[in-house]
Amino acid sequence: MNTAARRAITLGAALVAVVGMVLAMLFAPRFFTGEPEAFHTPASARLAENAPVTVQDLDPEAPLPDAGVFTAQLDAILSDQPDGTSFTAQVVDVSTDTVLYDKNSTSNGTPASSLKVVTALAALDVLGADTQLSTSVWLDGQTLVLRGGGDVLLGDGASDDSAAKGYAGLATLAEASAAELEKRGIDSVQLWLDDSLFDSAQTNSDWDQSLFTSNNIAPVYPLAHYAGRVSESLSSSYQSDSAQQAREVFAAALGSSLKVAEGGRGIYEGGEQIAEVRSAPLRDVVKHMLLVSDNYIAETLGRLVALEQGLAPEQAGSAVAAVASTHGAQGLSLSDTSGLAAVNQISPASLTTVLRSAATSDKAGMRELIYSLPVAGYSGTLMHRLGGDTTLGLVRAKTGSLTGVATLTGMTLTEDGRLLAFSIFASQPNGTLAPHKPIIDQAVTAIRGCGCRT
């Protein structure tokens, strides 16, 4: 393929991505989040009921902000603070890859949950947006094996394809298993739990113990209901052994039809598969993970990426970093894939590179990463941020919060119609939780409102 053809293909992909982003931003509050209504401010609260909806493509001739004016505005906002907090940041024009603002953007810092953007990119790229994760049941004589394949959003009841959480149900799996056992004249089994997919990579030595006691994470297994929590509620506590809990739920459902005794646990070879349920497509799992910033799902996806690349599950951070490097991100050092580890290192420049690569990808599934980010003032972790008149519904971004760290990484349109990717880090040496988020939001509001021309 000659250079001109390659450029044409690249430009076409970028145009599709940019137009798609505008559509996503305009309609995101109602159509692109895929979460229960309770997560959103009703659109009618801000829009006239009969107001006509018009959608226009981005104007490729829309003026770029003047980098000098832009820099003066953002430097005034992102200046060092009296408490020692400093900022690093980058803003890039998506269409042209022009850097419009740079504040030490290639310096690595702790990304917190902004890292989930990189994990999402790696999962969509390596595993594929259409992939569905299997939870299966195998029969070997009187031994019934429940085998986890990475779906940690199992529901307790019947499968429900209306949402990622509970898309595959343990009750449905039990019903299918019972029907097959009845055909074979089997009325008593020992239920073995095969949760060996992630081997011994349940935790991470770089996770502070407080992350467990504060209900931010739990040991990670390749099957779980409700992303490792006790119930569907996001405020419910994590389980210390989600795989065992899934076995107990499955056994109880199966026990209404036959006698079930608890068997062993670990890798099980042999047998015949007799039933299976599959997760929601990975695009929907990723969307849910980003929307609510789910650490358990992010860690699961990282382990699956590592396995797909022929690496051990405990090398998830390295596996995700390697995928990001193929998209232009440089200098990453990742211990985990959720952003919980304070030792994770990535720069704002790498994060904007990842976002732009996703937005301009020739893979539709990759472009969906951008649509999956929370929407300002409407959904997920941005529901109560950037809700002002100039930003409401017009910023998509992933938040990040740790002790001494606050980050925000996403995309927005300028007043003149340029699509910009941004990543902003705040770092405070004194250890306040998520320092100076209002200043970061002020900077993003300035980016969104920018004409910034001389």
Q: Is the model's pLDDT at 276 over the cut of 80? A: yes
pLDDT in tens, 371-430: 999 999 999 999 999 999 999 999 999 999 999 999 999 999 999 999 999 999 999 998
User: What's the burial of 426, exposed, middle or buried (CB within 10 Å: 0-12/13-18/19+)?
Assistant: buried
The predicted pLDDT at position 250 comes to 97
Show Cβ contacts of residue 12 under 8 Å, excluding neighbours closer than 6 positions. none
Yes or no: say if 1 and 337 are a contact pair by the CB < 8 Å rule: no
Instruction: Give the separation between CA 352 and CA 289, rounded to whole angstroms.
Output: 19
Q: Could you give the domains of the chain? A: 3-128+285-448 (3.40.710.10), 134-280 (no CATH)
User: What's the burial of 127, exposed, middle or buried (CB within 10 Å: 0-12/13-18/19+)?
Assistant: buried
> The tokens of 149 are what?
């394949």
How many percent of the chain have pLDDT more than 90? 82
Q: Is the model's pLDDT at 181 over the cut of 60? A: yes
Mean pLDDT of the chain: 89
Query: CA of 307: how far to CAs of 199, 220, 365, in Å?
Result: 11, 15, 20
The predicted pLDDT at position 418 comes to 92
How many CB atoms sit inside 10 A of residue 12's CB?
12
Residue identified by tokens 């300002």 is: 376
Q: Is the model's pLDDT at 113 over the cut of 90? A: yes
pLDDT band at residue 60 using 50, 70 and 90 as cut-offs: confident
Q: Is the model's pLDDT at 25 over the cut of 50? A: no
The b/e string for 394-403 (b: 16+ C-beta within 10 A; e otherwise) is: bbbbbbbbbb
Q: Look up the pTM and report it.
A: 0.88
The predicted pLDDT at position 62 comes to 86
The predicted pLDDT at position 431 comes to 83
Average confidence (pLDDT) over 283-292: 97
> The tokens of 129 are what?
């947006």
- 3-state SS, 131-142, equals CCCEEEEEEECC
For strand 143-148 and strand 188-194, is the pairing parallel, antiparallel, or unpaired?
parallel
The predicted pLDDT at position 57 comes to 60
Q: Is the model's pLDDT at 35 over the cut of 60? A: no
Residue identified by tokens 């040496």 is: 429
What is the DSSP secondary-structure string of 49-117?
Answer: TTPPP------TTPPPPPHHHHHHHHHHHSPPPTTS-EEEEEEEETTT--EEEEESTTS-B--GGGHHH
Instruction: Give the separation between CA 233 and CA 248, rounded to whole angstroms.
Output: 19
- 3-state SS, 22-44, equals HHHHHHHHHHCCCCCHHHCCCHH
pLDDT band at residue 24 using 50, 70 and 90 as cut-offs: very low
Show Cβ contacts of residue 286 under 8 Å, excluding neighbours closer than 6 positions. 120, 123, 124, 129, 301, 368, 369, 372
